[in-house]
Structure 1
Amino acid sequence: MGFFVRWFVAFALLVSTYNPTQWNYTAWTQANWEIQTPLVVFIGLVLFVGYIIYLRATLRSIGTFGMGLVLAIFGSLTWVLYDWGVLNLENRDLNLWLGLVALSLVLGIGLSWSILRRQLSGQADIDDVAD
């Protein structure tokens, strides 16, 4: 259950920033920059903090290589589904949604990896602490 919450929050963070509909921060910012600049900046900073939390945790737990590996697995799954005729990748919006799902999975796995690793191996991750 914990993984799904972390994944859903990552998905919500990405989708609220940009998606193919008009309901996203990017489109709202373009329409409201002149009249609501302080609110645009505030919400942008809140989103930025969310990205920092997720990216820092992901980089610390699975690293750049792990991020690439998760994306490669999702990309190969997409390739298999396309090859079997399940997916048609000519729809731009579908491609964008698939990309958002892939990136949110990378962030969700990154935030959950230390917990999963501890449960599988019984070993806890410990941050380096300076004396």
Structure 2
Amino acid sequence: MGVASRAAQGLIAVALAGLLGVTAWHWRLAWEDSGRFAFVLFGVPLACGVLALLAETVGRTAVASGVVGALAVMSLAWSLVTGLGIGLAFLLPSLLLLGAAAASWGDRRRHASSGQQRLTGSRRP
């Protein structure tokens, strides 16, 4: 069994806070300009953030790191697709999600190698 990465959870929480701030700041203008599409505009990166936090919290294997990474790439792609409008505001949270995927992978790998050392009794420098 793996352990969830506190660093990754923190980065995802900061990304979600940033996304909520961007949504609160730009919602009225986006609603007036795009109508119901505003739900999609803000919903895609917010869903990526929430699902990444859920995957990191619940997932106990290395698959969770891959899920967080895939969601980060999806959020980054959405940021670039909507980049001529408000999408650049989604860029920093997307990059934070990528950082969270890297932190998650590193923490899970470190935890797995320390568990293997305990099982085999070997130590690596």
Do these two structures clear the TM 0.5 threshold for a shared fold by scoring above it? Answer: no
| Higher helix content, 1 or 2 | 2
Query: Normalising TM by the smaller chain, what interval?
Result: 0.3 to 0.5
TM-score (norm 2): 0.38
